[in-house]
């Protein structure tokens, strides 16, 4: 599809075509679609009954139930709606890191976001884009249609990773602006104050969003596969640290694994879906596993 080819190969799009992007909970979209809605109304899928209340439309009365019980009940139906997909990308300087992966963390996050947008567009769902570092640099509200997708892809291509991270400052106010609940997929290396990240996640959850936090890492950040004395440079502050990688490797791995486990546990408490995505994988492979798991969970 035109535009998506800047981020995805034809083969990658073909592998995405059988996937379904959905929410673990009910959606609140703006038009007819394939996802369950929080709203109730006349639709093809029967859901439940409730007692008749004076003023209810008689066309929704269940006359068969009345014939058996001589009581008036109103039919309720599960409305189908479109899903609002919010794609949130950390574009701070640390996301430009590349060592053992195919691409940098930021480039990989863009590929994942483009893949999710491709699925949403194929499903006729609405998609939005947020790119942030220490402030929101780009915010496209969720919309559907080919014109909006072109704008989405142009905005995705226009940004590069730079600046410092301040997730809390950038995203807390944003969550208040996302008035209607949907699916929020956030892509970040999480090199930030964890409390700021959790505050932002809690804001999204309080608004009723289904949140997926995707922790984007270069494989080298998990293994520290360097030899000898190395110069480690903070890509956001420029701070330098000289260390023998072999001497610190074990303690580094313990620290990164502890940090990941902390994110996993605290996200679980918030009912946020936490995932690790390493930049040596194909985006379609990662999404296939993610969406298969979520389908088993009811998404």
CA distance 26 to 288: 21
Note whether 46 and 57 are within 8 A (CB).
no
Domain ranges of the chain: 8-28+83-297, 35-81
The string over 75-104, giving b where at least 16 C-beta atoms fall within 10 Å of a residue's C-beta and e elsewhere, is ebbbbbbbbbbbbbbbbbbbbbbbeebeeb
64: pLDDT confidence band, cut at 50, 70 and 90?
Answer: confident
Q: Which of 64-78, 104-118, 176-190 has the lowest mean pLDDT?
A: 64-78
* Placement of tokens 């009954």 in the chain: 49
* pLDDT value of position 40: 44
Summarize the confidence of residues 265-291 as an average pLDDT.
Answer: 95
Nearest by Cα to 156 from 215, 191, 107, 105: 107
CA distance 261 to 65: 53
Nearest by Cα to 84 from 157, 185, 155, 4: 185
The superfamily in CATH containing domain 8-28+83-297 is von Willebrand factor, type A domain (3.40.50.410)
pLDDT of 37 > 70? The answer is no
Residues 155-176 have pLDDT tens digits of 999 999 999 988 888 887 777 7
Q: What is the mean pLDDT of the chain?
A: 84
């Amino acid at each position: 599809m035109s535009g998506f080819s800047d981020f995805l190969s034809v083969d990658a799009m073909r592998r995405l075509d059988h996937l379904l992007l959905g929410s673990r909970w009910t959606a609140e979209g703006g038009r007819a679609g394939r996802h369950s809605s929080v709203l109730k109304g006349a639709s093809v899928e029967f859901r439940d009954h409730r007692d008749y209340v004076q003023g209810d439309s008689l066309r929704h009365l269940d006359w068969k139930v009345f014939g058996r019980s001589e009581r008036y009940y109103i039919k309720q139906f599960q409305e189908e709606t479109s899903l609002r997909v919010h794609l949130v990308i950390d574009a701070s300087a640390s996301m430009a890191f590349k060592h053992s992966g195919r691409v940098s963390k930021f480039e990989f996050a863009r590929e994942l976001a483009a893949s999710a947008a491709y699925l949403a567009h194929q499903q006729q769902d609405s998609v939005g884009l947020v790119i942030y570092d220490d402030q929101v640099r780009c915010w496209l509200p969720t919309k559907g249609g080919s014109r909006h997708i072109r704008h989405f892809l142009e905005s995705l291509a226009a940004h590069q990773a730079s600046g410092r991270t301040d997730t809390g400052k950038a995203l807390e106010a944003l969550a208040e602006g996302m008035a209607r609940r949907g699916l929020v997929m956030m892509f970040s290396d999480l090199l930030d104050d964890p409390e700021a990240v959790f505050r932002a996640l809690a804001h999204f959850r309080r608004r009723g969003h289904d949140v997926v936090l995707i922790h984007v890492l270069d494989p080298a950040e998990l293994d520290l596969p360097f030899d000898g004395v190395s110069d480690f440079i903070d890509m956001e502050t420029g701070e330098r640290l000289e260390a023998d990688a072999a001497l610190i490797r074990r303690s580094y791995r313990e620290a990164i694994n502890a940090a990941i486990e902390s994110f996993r546990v605290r996200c679980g408490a918030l009912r946020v879906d936490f995932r690790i995505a390493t930049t040596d994988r194909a985006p379609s492979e990662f999404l296939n596993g993610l969406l298969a798991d979520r389908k088993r969970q009811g998404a």
